[in-house]
């Protein structure tokens, strides 16, 4: 059964208070020590994706259903590319935006594409992605 944006909002809000859950996921999936995942892609798979995409410079990664942005932000950090994260959970996008700032990846956030889609964007240190 499809979940609503509100249900995902609640799910992400609960995860904020559960750092242990994030740590367990990271250990099981062998992910980098600060990546926030709510998915099943492991560290080796992420390495393969990074190699296959070969994103550099001005290339833009569109991270659909990005959640907290864990994978997209990690790819941006490794390759210095732009990433645009799209998700219908406002709570998830807010957490992704906060994470981008912690990683010193500039980040903007705006409500876009009508009522339900929020988009965050970031790119390498020191610059904002223009609208």
Instruction: Determine if 113 is a binding residue for ligand SAM (CB under 6 A).
Output: no
Contact assessment for residue 63 and residue 84, using Cβ atoms and an 8 Å cutoff: yes
- Kindly write out the interface string for residues 9-38 of this chain, putting x where it contacts ligand SAM by CB under 6 A and - elsewhere: ----------------------------xx
Exactly one of 22, 74, 87, 90 binds ligand SAM (CB under 6 A); which one? 87
Q: Beta-carbon neighbour count of residue 113 at 10 Å?
A: 10
> Considering the complex, what minimum distance in angstroms separates the CB of residue 51 from ligand SAM?
18
Q: For 94, left (φ over 0), alpha (ψ -120 to 50), or beta?
A: alpha
Q: Which residues pair with 83 in a beta bridge?
A: 61, 122
Binding test (CB under 6 A) with ligand SAM, winner from 46, 55, 66, 119: 66
- 79 — phi, psi (to 5°)? -105, -10
Please give the residue ranges that form the binding site for ligand SAM (CB under 6 A): 8, 37-39, 65-67, 70-71, 87-89, 92
């Amino acid at each position: 059964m499809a979940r609503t944006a509100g249900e995902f909002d609640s799910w992400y809000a609960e995860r904020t208070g559960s750092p242990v859950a994030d740590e367990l996921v990271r250990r099981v999936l062998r992910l980098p020590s600060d990546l926030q995942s709510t998915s099943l892609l492991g560290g080796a798979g992420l390495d393969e994706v990074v190699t296959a995409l070969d994103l550099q410079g001005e290339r833009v990664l569109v991270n659909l259903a990005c959640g907290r942005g864990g994978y997209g932000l990690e790819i941006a950090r490794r390759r210095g590319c732009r990433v645009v994260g799209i998700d219908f959970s406002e709570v998830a996008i807010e957490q992704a935006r906060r994470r981008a700032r912690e990683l010193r990846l500039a980040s903007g956030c705006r409500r876009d594409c009508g009522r339900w889609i929020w988009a965050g964007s970031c790119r390498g240190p020191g610059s904002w992605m223009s609208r």
